Amino acid sequence: MDNRDRTLWMTTGSGARIGQNLVMNWFAIARRQNGVVSHSQLVAAGLSHGELDSMVRRGELKPLYPGTYLHGSLTPTYPQRLRAASLWADPAVVSHHSAARLLMLPVDVSTTVIHLTVDDRRYRRTPSGIDLHRVPVGPGEITSVRGLRVTTRVRSLVDLCRAESPALARNLADRGIQLGWIEPSDLVRSVAAHPGRTGNTQLRAILAGIEPGAHAESERVFHRLLRNAGVRGWRAQHRVRVRGRTCRIDVAFPEQRLAIEIDGRRYHDELSDRFEDDRARQNALVAAGWRVLRFTWRQLTERPDWVLGQVRQLLAA
């Protein structure tokens, strides 16, 4: 907002004038909210219903969702629409893909649909562009991001595991477990807390595919490969202390000091922090006397005999 906006004296349709202090009151509220303000906030700031109607007619306020407005000099953007939607459905919680966008979770957030979750079953005529989810949200499942009520990372990931396609949901669960963002127990608790909720069947299917100690589908495939071949003496997610840091090895043969790392189907690119961390961890293991093998998803699924041969060769050595 420029200086002219800040010192503006506005005239209502009846010719009465709104004082500068009153203007500054609602400007201050809108400034904290990306230029967005609600009808109730404007009334609380001292504006009458007639004055609000006049401001809308003159273009000083742009209606967004019912009972929400954008400062007339601005063009609506996604953050402003998100803020307005949250004010419209207050006390709603930003959730699903909208929460993923704010929490920077590894999912497709290209959609402009705004997802909100309300903790009751009150009927609302949902405006276009808003997807309203009617399911309880516990106090411990809400965090604050940029002044908005947002579902926590755990709750957001579990919600997305319910809503995404089976393949994407499985990959997201694998990634979340691998990074330590969620645990299988989080999925179990969600199913138990919301019996009959849409997506429970999908969560159960994800849980059925999770093996103890495996943090990704690729690791589960490798575990089955070792068991079916009768290879023994290995531990999943083995922790070892090297060079002052605790390293977690996907599959370890502690007696032979053999570490095996598995790259999943959607392995991180070379610029990611995880790629850098993996290389630092591998170097630390080698320096501490460990031998390290690394296999890809394609090798596990297309060349399983070769993978087993590599493992057996080093075990024999």
Tens of pLDDT, residues 214-272: 566 788 788 888 988 999 999 888 888 877 778 888 899 999 999 998 886 554 443 44
Residues in CB range of 52: below 8 A, 6 or more apart: 39, 42, 43, 61
Terminus-to-terminus CA distance in the chain, angstroms?
Answer: 72
Exposure class string for 177-213: b at 16+ Cβ within 10 A, else e: bbeebbebebbeebbeebeeeebbebbeebeeebbee
Which band of pLDDT confidence, cut at 50, 70 and 90, is reported for residue 281?
confident
Candidates 256, 257, 251; CA nearest to 285 is 257
Q: Is the domain 217-316 a CATH 3.90.380.10 member?
A: no
Query: Per-residue pLDDT tens for 8-50?
Result: 333 333 333 444 455 557 778 888 888 999 999 888 888 888 8
pLDDT for position 156:
97
Token pair in block for residue 282: 């591998």
Three-state DSSP at 125 gives coil
Show Cβ contacts of residue 65 under 8 Å, excluding neighbours closer than 6 positions.
81, 84, 85, 87, 88, 127, 130
pTM over 0.85: no
Q: What is the pLDDT of residue 98?
A: 96
CATH 3.40.960.10 positions along the chain are 217-316
pLDDT at 2: 40
**pLDDT score at 96:** 96
Q: How confident is the model at residue 298 (pLDDT cuts 50, 70, 90)?
A: confident
Confidence of residue 124 (pLDDT cuts 50, 70, 90): low
Q: What is the pLDDT of residues 59-79, one digit of tens each?
A: 989 999 999 999 888 899 999
